[in-house]
Structure 1
Amino acid sequence: MAWRKQVNVRLARKTGMQVVHRQGKLRLVPVPQRELAAPGFLFSSVRSGSTLLRMILNSHSEIFAPHELHLAHIKVKCELPAAKTAMEQLGFTERELTNMVWDRLLTKALRDSGKKMLVEKTPNLVFQWARVAQAFPDAKFIYLLRHPASILDSWQRARTTQTFDEAVASVTKYLTALHEARTSLPGHTVRYEDLTGDPAGEARKICAYLGVAYEPAMVEYGKADHGPLVAGLGDWQEKIKTGTVQEARPVPQIELPDTLKTLAIDLGY
């Protein structure tokens, strides 16, 4: 079933249409016009190394990978019914108006960076994967995976106030959305364990997928300016602040709930 979804996406793009999820079904709709060409989106769970990967990418001379932008929470809302009707008469729904704002925001940010390609990495955007694919039909997707047990352990270390059950529910939600996106949209998969074990090798593969030349300086991410490292904009802890790729912790030997066991198998662990 997964390969059929990906074939449908490829065929739709070639014919000027795209596949979108509406009311639980896949539908073909016209491809919207966007100012931003071929943006990249990094889909992952929380605590999977997305800040590390975005800093590696942002160290490339042609790639702008900003801190988390939280696009899913930037929306256009018509406050009056008349305003909504007026926009609909022009062919614009609130959803499309929001997509246009995203497009303009990302385009402006990329131009201000002076680089050629943008890669966005906010983890919670994975919940909007179908929306992102519809908003940016020529987007490229990078899937960053990590063993669910390691994610759960790291998430509990980062957010000590949450209970074990709350952490499990959160990680399950992220990994479910990630699995759905990965089986529906063609893209490139990188595993955190491989990224930390061979950062140069994995960076080469990602560069090849994005269509840019590999640059050795990418893995020395601490030499570049990546903006503030604060809560809400990505990982802010001491490990990421070292500026060098750190070896991954061994996968903790914990008993995973059945839902996470299944997801671990689905994601290749």
Structure 2
Amino acid sequence: MSDRPVFVIGCPRSGTTMLQLMLHSHPRMAVPPETRFLIPAYYRRRTWGDLRLDHRRRALAQWIATDRSTKFRELKLDKDEFVREAVEAPGSLGSVIGTAFRMYADRFDKARWGDKRPSYVKQVDLLLRLFPDAQFIHLVRDGRDCVASLKEMPWYTLDSFHAVSTWAEAIDAGGRLRRTLADDTYYELRYEDLTDDPMTELKKLCHFLEEDFSPSMISPREAASVAVPQHKVWHRNTHHEVTRSRVGSWANRLDDWEIALCEHMLGDRLESMGYELIGASKPAKEHVTACQKTMQKRKASRMRKGMRDRFNRLREPSPVAAMLTSAQRSLAGVPQQRSELTEPAV
């Protein structure tokens, strides 16, 4: 049976929380609420020094467990126990981070863990550095619905131009992943197909994950009470049955100028993912210009961050990749555990 980590990725408001709960409802998988310590820990990795040293792993674990920005509390783990296990973990950044997720899976007596954060779709290369055996599930939703939903979120403070850019970036990133990652590493599915026929789509997804399908995945609302924090009221729909009621609702939630802008800026991407255009009127030139400038600024920002990271890779103080799963240990040249060397009984 597989022990590979699983990451749910995509554009925000594309249904990733629903998919998180479906996976968490599987008897072998645990996928927690967003914790927000993985990427910050990666970018700050030089701060922790050589993680092959016990006291360095302790410092990183204490930051994960106690810093207010990390949301470690959402895992509902004992902080002291996590620090102890992190110190005992192999000496790498991924091993310390992975220990928190493994302990979360242990909470539910499950063999595998996952993590859900939509923005990971643009950070898969970093995640593969940390967890080289990871699998990625990219959930795609009609960009017009994503833009409409983003606008309504209390935490979303940007404008419609940024919302359009966010969906375009997720689709472009997915295209690159589709071309470069192995078939057993990257999987893509549409929100509309998943809500239309959950059983069929989840069976195909389980095949990708090398897991048996579990009917409990179809109705994940019970998992919402565990894996969705109560303060996230914008996820209230996850406490009900899977529904298609929001599919295509962009037609009533976007202004005419936003529909025109979406179809102009996202048209090719929408059609490539199987979404039909309505033939909206041509958008105003100033709207197109503003959106293009937003996209260019965001791209420049990503490039600067990527260059800084490539420079930092030349000065890493200790190993990055986790050495917790069978495949991770094999890639790192670490001897397999006894349980992995024992042939299963027939």
Structure 2-normalised TM-score?
0.56
Question: 1:240: which partner in 2?
Answer: 238
User: Relative to structure 2, which stretch is displaced further, 117-126 or 159-168?
Assistant: 159-168
Question: 1:119: which partner in 2?
Answer: 114
Q: Conserved in 2, the CA contact under 8 Å of 1:143 and 1:190?
A: yes
1:264 to 267, 270, 285: 270
Tell whether 2:76 aligns with 1:72: no
Q: CA deviation at 1:250?
A: 3.8
Provide the rounded CA distance (Å) in 1 between the counterparts of 2:170 and 2:46.
30
Question: 2:210: which partner in 1?
Answer: 211
1:156 to 148, 151, 156: 151
Question: 2:179: which partner in 1?
Answer: 183
Question: 2:57: which partner in 1?
Answer: none
Tell whether 2:42 aligns with 1:46: no
Q: CA deviation at 1:164?
A: 1.7
Q: CA deviation at 1:43?
A: 1.6
Larger Rg, first or second structure (1 or 2) = 2
Question: 1:16: which partner in 2?
Answer: none
Q: CA deviation at 1:226?
A: 2.6
Question: 1:229: which partner in 2?
Answer: 229
The answer to which structure has the higher strand fraction is 1
Provide the rounded CA distance (Å) in 2 between the counterparts of 1:235 and 1:266.
33
| 1:144-165 superposed Cα distances (whole Å, 9 cap, x missing partner) | 1111111111111224753222
Provide the rounded CA distance (Å) in 1 between the counterparts of 2:243 and 2:105.
29
Identity %: 25
Structural RMSD (CA): 3.0
Structure 1-normalised TM-score?
0.71
Provide the rounded CA distance (Å) in 2 between the counterparts of 1:63 and 1:221.
13
| 1:189-234 superposed Cα distances (whole Å, 9 cap, x missing partner) | 2210011111122111111211221121221212334334356xx7
Q: Conserved in 1, the CA contact under 8 Å of 2:8 and 2:137?
A: yes
The answer to which structure has the higher helix fraction is 2
User: Relative to structure 2, which stretch is displaced further, 60-69 or 153-162?
Assistant: 153-162
- Seen in structure 2, the aligned counterparts of structure 1 residues 129 and 78 have a Cα distance that, compared at 3 Å, is closer
Provide the rounded CA distance (Å) in 1 between the counterparts of 2:96 and 2:192.
36
Show the 5 A alignment for 1:31-42.
37-42=3-8
- Seen in structure 2, the aligned counterparts of structure 1 residues 157 and 103 have a Cα distance that, compared at 3 Å, is same
Give 5+ residue unaligned stretches, structure 1. 1-35, 88-93
Provide the rounded CA distance (Å) in 1 between the counterparts of 2:268 and 2:230.
33
Aligned length: 222
Q: Conserved in 1, the CA contact under 8 Å of 2:153 and 2:234?
A: no
Give 5+ residue unaligned stretches, structure 2. 54-59, 61-90, 252-258, 276-346
Provide the rounded CA distance (Å) in 2 between the counterparts of 1:134 and 1:112.
26
